[in-house]
Structure 1
Amino acid sequence: MSGWSEADVPDCSGQTVVVTGANSGIGREATRALAARGATVVMAVRSTDRGRDAAEGIRDEIAARGTSTPGKLEVRECDLADLDSVASFVDDVREAYDELDVLANNAGVMAVPYSETAQGFETQFGVNHVGHFALTEGLLGLLAASDGEARVVTQSSGLHENGDIDFDRVRPRSADPADDPERGYDEWAAYGQSKLANVLFARELDARLDDAGVADVTSVAVHPGYAATNLQKRGPEQRGSVLRKYAMEVANAVVAQSAADGALPLLYAATASDVAGGAYYGPGGLMNMRGSPERQEPSARALDDDLARRLWEASEEHTGISYDFDALAA
């Protein structure tokens, strides 16, 4: 995979891909690259207005580059902070499509002040992990129905290495008024936890698919390195910190690679022929912050099978969502 670039994305004609967070940043760049190769991309976005604006811009960019047979773009609402919205999205996709080839669990939030999802999960854990846990379960049947090898690609971060799973903080807010989840809340620790959860989920999903004999669906985790997107500015904006926002803008301009380059690990994991189930891919350049995608080793905690199992069981318990692998195998 040395030197792998967007030019190496194969023809995707006839494939259907779901990308969460497809209207901006890495999700937008991945959507553009896949559609330019002929894929039908379902853009799962929180704001359909922003999604439609992004789709129009992507179509214009593809046309300007002279692609003769671009794929289709379809914008659908999917708010990962609300499991009811996720369920509605799943129902719509199931009605519209008989199979899927790729699910890119890409959307996320980073280092935001404490808030909660519609179901009471801490927002970073709820959006980055819980929403995608529910979405993947809902679409796994369509992925298993693909004619080829389907992929589930879950976007993590190099900062998963700083994460740990605090099982007291991965459940929805307790009904006990003495239980204050905001006490001791650290937005960066919460982000690291959610990104560690992404790797654990990707590995455990692949292991459970293998155990059930579902050989044609592969689950992998990726990280983008340091890519310049709006993700870095949202936390400072929500806190009203002009200084932090400015510092992030400077770092993006000086250190970060482009969002298009940040999308390469996702594109590689979604389309390359030699992707290994349960693996972890990221940029192989300076401090793994930039460069061509390569297979990498995640943290020791990310490789903890017992921790992955406990997280999976906690996710099922707190969401009421259970994966039926026996039905998939049948």
Structure 2
Amino acid sequence: MSRFDFSTTGSDVFAAFPEQVAGKTFVITGASTGGLGASVAIALAAGNPAAILLLGRSEHKVSPVLKEIEHISPSTRAHFIKVDLASCASVRAAAAEVDATVSKVDVLINNAGIMGVKFALTPENVESQFGANHIGHFLLTNLLMPKLEAAGKGARVVNVSSAMYQFGPVRFDDINFSNGEKFNTWEAYGQSKTANILFSVALAKKLAGKGIRSYSLHPGNIQATKLSSHMDPAEWPIVGAMFVEKKIAMPKEKTLEQGSATTIAAALDPGLDGVSGAFLDDCNVAETLEYASSEENAEKLWTLSEKIVGEKFSY
């Protein structure tokens, strides 16, 4: 039986594997104060990592997290890098800054995300949730691959998904919902979260020979984050009805500290070495629907993503 469960906190997971943190470099997207990424970063700081790079849109919102990391571990290099994950140009600039800042990346945590937004297109002409939640991370991860390789075998890529991936598969023939005419923000969010899972499936297969592992996960229902702060209140009855319609159990609410646990397990737990590509829930491997675990879909998504970013990545 696993030592971790629903109630486990990020600090609990770190305490089990402190040797997996010391001297390592972590890159985390979406680490504004009060959010899940910040909670993950602060828990990791207790292990005296060499560096924690926090990527986000607002330095003002990340600065308090940097200060807390420096207070917990003065020897850790805590650094902010500006990025807008909805823009491939911004992602390329951020990747170049990461490249210039550190010699290796031991763990890349693709945590940032948007949810429940109105229909909009990114500069690459893709629906904004798919663009920011998946395409931006797809490009960032591949651009940082040399740094992950420099870390040697055991490097990890962690993609924060959601149980709400069950709201929709990747619509390979219509990712933009007929240019918004058939748009449902929750199906679009589900599509982006399914993409996070399929991305890990693809990475696990492509990087197996390099010893780099990848995992996706559901962090939990964490109302303390600001993920839904901008949402139209009228959306809540709609999403509630979708849980009922699709016969999906509403995830029980977690605290921020509990919510960070599964991300930290994906980043650190050596017990997961043999299950690269797995989806985690409550720090343990969980089953997903077939459309989110299909290697065929994972490869289709990879090809589509390469087309969108205008660059091929082969491993």
TM-score class, shorter-chain normalisation, is: 0.7 to 0.9
- Counting only pairs closer than 5 Å after superposition, residues 54-93 of structure 1 correspond to structure 2 as 54-59=65-70, 62=72, 71-93=76-98
Q: 1:204 aligns with which of 202, 205, 210?
A: 202
The answer (yes or no) to whether the contact 2:214–2:277 under 8 Å persists in 1 is yes
In structure 2, the partner of 1:316 is 306
State yes or no: 1:231 paired with 2:227.
yes
In structure 1, the partner of 2:277 is 278
Any idea what the Cα deviations from partners look like across 1:125-165, whole Å, max 9, x if unmatched?
A: 00010000000000011101114510000010001122211
Secondary structure of 1:161 counterpart = helix
In structure 2, the partner of 1:23 is 32
State yes or no: 1:42 paired with 2:53.
yes
Letter paired with 2:265: Y
Letter paired with 1:190: A
In structure 1, the partner of 2:246 is none
In structure 2, the partner of 1:190 is 188
Secondary structure of 1:44 counterpart = strand
Q: 2:154 aligns with which of 133, 149, 152?
A: 149
The RMSD of aligned alpha carbons is 2.3
The answer (yes or no) to whether the contact 1:154–1:222 under 8 Å persists in 2 is yes
Q: State TM-score, norm by structure 2.
A: 0.86
> 1:243 and 1:16, CA in 2 relative to 1: closer, same or farther beyond 3 A?
closer
How many percent of aligned residue pairs carry the same amino acid?
31
Secondary structure of 1:93 counterpart = helix
In structure 1, the partner of 2:260 is 263
Any idea what the Cα deviations from partners look like across 1:243-284, whole Å, max 9, x if unmatched?
A: 959x99xxxxx952111211111100101111121111112x
Letter paired with 2:278: A
For residues 219 and 56 of structure 2, what CA distance do their matches in structure 1 show? 20
In structure 2, the partner of 1:114 is 119
In structure 2, the partner of 1:52 is 63
Gaps of 5+ in 1: 63-67, 172-178, 249-253, 284-292, 326-330
Any idea what the Cα deviations from partners look like across 1:99-125, whole Å, max 9, x if unmatched?
A: 110000110011111112222211100
For residues 291 and 252 of structure 2, what CA distance do their matches in structure 1 show? 28
Gaps of 5+ in 2: 241-250
Letter paired with 1:181: N
> 1:144 and 1:20, CA in 2 relative to 1: closer, same or farther beyond 3 A?
same
The answer (yes or no) to whether the contact 1:206–1:218 under 8 Å persists in 2 is yes
State yes or no: 1:102 paired with 2:116.
no
Per the TM alignment, residue 180 of structure 1 is displaced from its structure 2 partner at its CA by: 5.3
Secondary structure of 1:191 counterpart = helix
Per the TM alignment, residue 97 of structure 1 is displaced from its structure 2 partner at its CA by: 1.6
Any idea what the Cα deviations from partners look like across 1:56-98, whole Å, max 9, x if unmatched?
A: 24545x3xxxxx6663311111110111111011111111222
> 1:243 and 1:126, CA in 2 relative to 1: closer, same or farther beyond 3 A?
closer
The answer (yes or no) to whether the contact 2:12–2:261 under 8 Å persists in 1 is no
Between Structure 1 and Structure 2, how many residues are aligned? 290
The answer (yes or no) to whether the contact 1:35–1:72 under 8 Å persists in 2 is no
For residues 81 and 156 of structure 1, what CA distance do their matches in structure 2 show? 17
Secondary structure of 1:84 counterpart = helix
Letter paired with 1:157: S
Q: State TM-score, norm by structure 1.
A: 0.82
In structure 2, the partner of 1:294 is 284
Secondary structure of 2:270 counterpart = coil
The answer (yes or no) to whether the contact 1:45–1:77 under 8 Å persists in 2 is yes
Letter paired with 1:19: I
